[in-house]
Amino acid sequence: MANNVGVVVVAAGRGTRMGTEESKQYLLLQGKPIVVHTLEVFQQHERISEIVLVTGAEDMGRCRKWCDEYGLSKVKDIVAGGAERQHSVYRGLERLSTEWVMVHDGVRPFVRPSDIDACYEEAGRTGASVLAVPVKDTIKQVDGQGRVLSTPDRRSLWAIQTPQTFRLSQLRAAYEAADKEGFVGTDDSSLAERAGIPVAVVEGSYSNIKITTPDDLEYAEFTVTMRREGQA
């Protein structure tokens, strides 16, 4: 399995919660686009052999420029995304030639190398894996009128992150089956689960945030500073 892992980094979304004209994945974090920080994590990881970046058609040019500027040599292709995240991921999967694949959000730049290793190893044992953290808050299920229906046991609830790791051939088949049947899942593992692929949870870190709001960006600036000073 070693060194035969590809990554699809998904950065095609526009997003509105950041409240900026610029898409969140291209906002600067300590002077560098967020998506570049994310790509660098996988560029520097010895297990990863190739990366496909999925972005908006209008953003492909500047992404190519950044890959050259920042020495992102493992990025073998940059492709335009589709109407839905699911379509975007599949376009990325089509460009990979590795045995295993990780799918990762372009706005999660703080995934730890050790978590990438853990996801990879668990996928080898189980068939597929997703990085996640236990839910800390009490969760309520409510109806359309805002009335509480139930309180699920928090011990069984996990907040799902990325990367999510699969055998490439199996994930492609799961995507093709979903497309044929008109099914749109909430994440990659939901398609794998639907196809009968066992998926295991790998406990990650609460610092592996998805940068979607101004508060997230502020936290990200703090995190980068702390890491540079060796305090995180």
Q: At what angle do helices 34-43 and 113-126 cross, to 10 degrees?
A: 60
Residue 204 has pLDDT above 80, yes or no: yes
pLDDT band for position 1 (cuts 50, 70, 90): very low
pLDDT of residue 232: 57
User: Alpha-carbon distance 11 to 57, whole Å?
Assistant: 11
pLDDT band for position 3 (cuts 50, 70, 90): low
Helix (H, G, I), strand (E, B) or coil at 87: helix
In 3D space, the residue among 84, 67, 85 whose CA is nearest the CA of residue 76 turns out to be 67
CATH number at residue 13: 3.90.550.10
Q: Which residues pair with 55 in a beta bridge?
A: 11, 80
Tally the domains of the chain.
Answer: 1
Range 84-97 average pLDDT: 95
Range 123-129 average pLDDT: 96
Backbone angles phi, psi at 204, to 5 degrees: -105, -140
* CA 135, 25, 207, 72 torsion-angle sign: positive
Q: Which residues pair with 129 in a beta bridge?
A: 165, 200
pLDDT of residue 115: 97
pLDDT of residue 229: 72
Instruction: State the average pLDDT for the chain.
Output: 91
In 3D space, the residue among 214, 91, 110, 210 whose CA is nearest the CA of residue 160 turns out to be 210
Residue 17 has pLDDT above 60, yes or no: no
Domain encompassing residue 189: 5-228
pLDDT of residue 100: 98
Cβ-based neighbour number of residue 33 at 10 Å: 22
Q: What is the pLDDT of residues 208-220, one digit of tens each?
A: 999 988 888 888 8
- The helix or strand, by DSSP H or E, that contains position 200, with its residue range, turns out to be strand 200-203
